[in-house]
Chain A
Amino acid sequence: MLQQVHSNANIRSLNFREAAFRKTLSLSAILLIVLLISIFLTLLVSSLPSIQAIGLKFLYQKVWDPVANEFGALPFLAGTLMTSALAILISTPFALAIGLFLGEYYPRGWISGLIKNAVELLAGIPSVILGFWGIFTIVPIVRAIEMRVGAVPSGVGILAASIILAIMITPFSASLIRLVISMVPLHLKEAAYALGATRFEVVRFVIIPYIRSGMSAGILLALGRALGETMAVTMLIGNTQIIPKSIFDTGNTMASVIANEFTEATGKIYFSALIETGLVLFVVTTIINIIGVRIIKRFES
């Protein structure tokens, strides 16, 4: 036997340290759960004054006028929906193209590496810098379009914000789409090729149907991202409290109104109303994310 005296004290301290380690691990997991629940509860509790004062009207009242103590969130619910939907519309073809490019047409080689790095780099550019760039590049373009079309040439507005949003979410959905495309079993594609299908036909009849659920998850998760985007949108949307009637109008999103007005929110109801906006944002993005992740998990198995 090893010539060491294993005293009882030694064994006790050993057992203590083992138990302490395991407890610490469990504790950190519990901490995470508690953190999340606390975030939700804090939003809820701080929204209560506004919920009690305004009630359900909050969601469909058209006027947001802090001075007159009227808080209807419809303008920025509409703004959020419009910008996100338009952004998804614009970005999906590009994301799909990139996904096919990297997942099917050029999965290896220097071209693949180049495009992959470019897309990842784009994803890494901070929102505020994209917004800044957008002011000087996207806005003039939109203004030119508006003058052509005969709309008010403000430049900023739903269209500009949607474009920058589309640029921001494309890398994210592209990488997700690439992921699900790479999971299409080789034998399915080979069977199609063996029957004389062209590549396009394999994409259309084998790949796309196979990844349908994965792709919808990708779009869902991209939507979640778009809903929560703050800085670039704030800088390009015009920040007005009207319900936008066309893409050339200015408006606001839930995130941008919080960013703009939070520090100046005096008055209990005003403050609480902004937090209630945050609560709506939180609930909607969380639900979308959970559904999206579930779909992806099911797709992977």
Chain B
Amino acid sequence: MESTILRTENLNAFFGDAHVLKDVSIEIPKNTITAIMGPSGCGKSTFIRCINRMHELTENAYSTGKIYINDEDIFSYNATLLRRSVGMVFQRPNPFNTMNIFENVIAGYTLNRYKLSKSEKEQLVEESLRKAVLWDEVKDNLHKKGTFLSGGQQQRLCIARSIAMKPSILLLDEPTSALDPISTAKIEELLLALKSNYTIVIVTHNMQQAGRISDDTAFFYMGELTEWDKTKTIFTNPKKVQTQNYITGRFG
């Protein structure tokens, strides 16, 4: 069994009185891609937002239960500092519009006042952009604002910005749902390449995408972790009725 990097025990999440995650216990192995799937409103976005403690930023939102990253209880850790070790990429690309491409990639460092020398910065920017498969397309325009980039390129910029922080876990919330098929394919490719250095948890609506890139799949239904297994197994031999129905398209 590969080592577990992320583990939740009886995770429950609430928005005020609304109970949106119920007793979720899961173990994510290191250097894998885990797909989080389920119909709308099942709690999958809430789940990954609990992992980097973004969930509690919403008013009246809170969670109970335990989450461990590398066996450290993340709730005993300062939340702001935790988020520097867990990266998140959102559904709509959101590069900072007051910064150029170069500054965007290292935004996590400059905003958090980490001192880097000029050569360290340049090295980090190139390394991150290469990993995000964006370097060749922007290397001559690093000091321009990213407004000329396409949606797919902007999203890869956001990925570069997240992995520049060298997180151990990368969380992605439907990162390709707003993109065209070609950009989607590019991002799926780069996620597969990133797997060797990062652990990836990706929320997706797209079953084919889960089938293409994920090692494991967790299926959520109405706030509960209904089923969680190797992707191949989930798709060919699901054990629960709800999973079966979702896969065969009974509901979306």
Chain A residues with a Cβ under 8 A of chain B: 1-4, 6, 11, 14-15, 18
Bound Cα distance from A4 to B165, whole angstroms: 11
Which stretch, B25-33, B80-88, B211-219, touches the partner chain A?
B80-88
CB distance from B242 to the nearest CB of A (A): 36
Q: Are A2 and B78 in contact (CB under 8 A)?
A: no
Sample of 4 further A-B pairs with CB below 8 A, known A1-B85, A11-B78: A1-B70, A1-B168, A4-B84, A4-B114
CB distance from A8 to the nearest CB of B (A): 10
Q: Could you say which residues of chain A place their CB within 8 Å of the CB of B85?
A: 1-2
Asked if B166 lies at the interface with its beta carbon under 8 angstroms from chain A, I say yes
Closest residue to B77 on the A side, CB-wise?
A6
Bound Cα distance from A2 to B166, whole angstroms: 6
Output the residue of B81, B84, B85, B167 with the most chain A CB within 10 A.
B81
Q: Could you say which residues of chain B place their CB within 8 Å of the CB of A11?
A: 78, 81
B interface size (C-beta, 8 A): 11
Q: Could you say which residues of chain A place their CB within 8 Å of the CB of B78?
A: 6, 11, 14-15
Q: Could you say which residues of chain A place their CB within 8 Å of the CB of B114?
A: 4
Closest residue to A12 on the B side, CB-wise?
B78
Closest residue to B72 on the A side, CB-wise?
A1
Q: Could you say which residues of chain B place their CB within 8 Å of the CB of A6?
A: 78, 81
Q: Are A14 and B80 in contact (CB under 8 A)?
A: yes
The 3 closest A-B pairs by CB, nearest first: A11-B78, A1-B85, A6-B81
Bound Cα distance from A18 to B168, whole angstroms: 26
Would you list 20 pairs from A and B whose C-beta atoms are within 8 A, ordered by A residue?
A1-B70, A1-B85, A1-B168, A2-B84, A2-B85, A2-B165, A2-B166, A2-B167, A3-B166, A4-B84, A4-B114, A6-B78, A6-B81, A11-B78, A11-B81, A14-B78, A14-B80, A14-B81, A15-B78, A18-B80
Closest residue to A4 on the B side, CB-wise?
B114
Q: Could you say which residues of chain A place their CB within 8 Å of the CB of B70?
A: 1
Bound Cα distance from A15 to B78, whole angstroms: 9
Q: Could you say which residues of chain A place their CB within 8 Å of the CB of B167?
A: 2
Bound Cα distance from A18 to B81, whole angstroms: 13
Bound Cα distance from A2 to B87, whole angstroms: 11
CB distance from A98 to the nearest CB of B (A): 38
Q: Could you say which residues of chain A place their CB within 8 Å of the CB of B168?
A: 1
Q: Chain B 153-192, CB within 8 Å of chain A: the 1/0 string?
A: 0000000000001111000000000000000000000000
Output the residue of A1, A11, A14 with the most chain B CB within 10 A.
A1
Bound Cα distance from A257 to B168, whole angstroms: 74
Q: Could you say which residues of chain B place their CB within 8 Å of the CB of A4?
A: 84, 114
Bound Cα distance from A11 to B80, whole angstroms: 9
CB distance from A239 to the nearest CB of B (A): 55
Bound Cα distance from A14 to B77, whole angstroms: 13
CB distance from A11 to the nearest CB of B (A): 5
Closest residue to A11 on the B side, CB-wise?
B78
Closest residue to B108 on the A side, CB-wise?
A2
Bound Cα distance from A14 to B70, whole angstroms: 24
Closest residue to A10 on the B side, CB-wise?
B81
Bound Cα distance from A2 to B78, whole angstroms: 14
CB distance from A17 to the nearest CB of B (A): 11
CB distance from B161 to the nearest CB of A (A): 14
CB distance from B140 to the nearest CB of A (A): 30
Q: Could you say which residues of chain A place their CB within 8 Å of the CB of B166?
A: 2-3
Closest residue to A14 on the B side, CB-wise?
B80
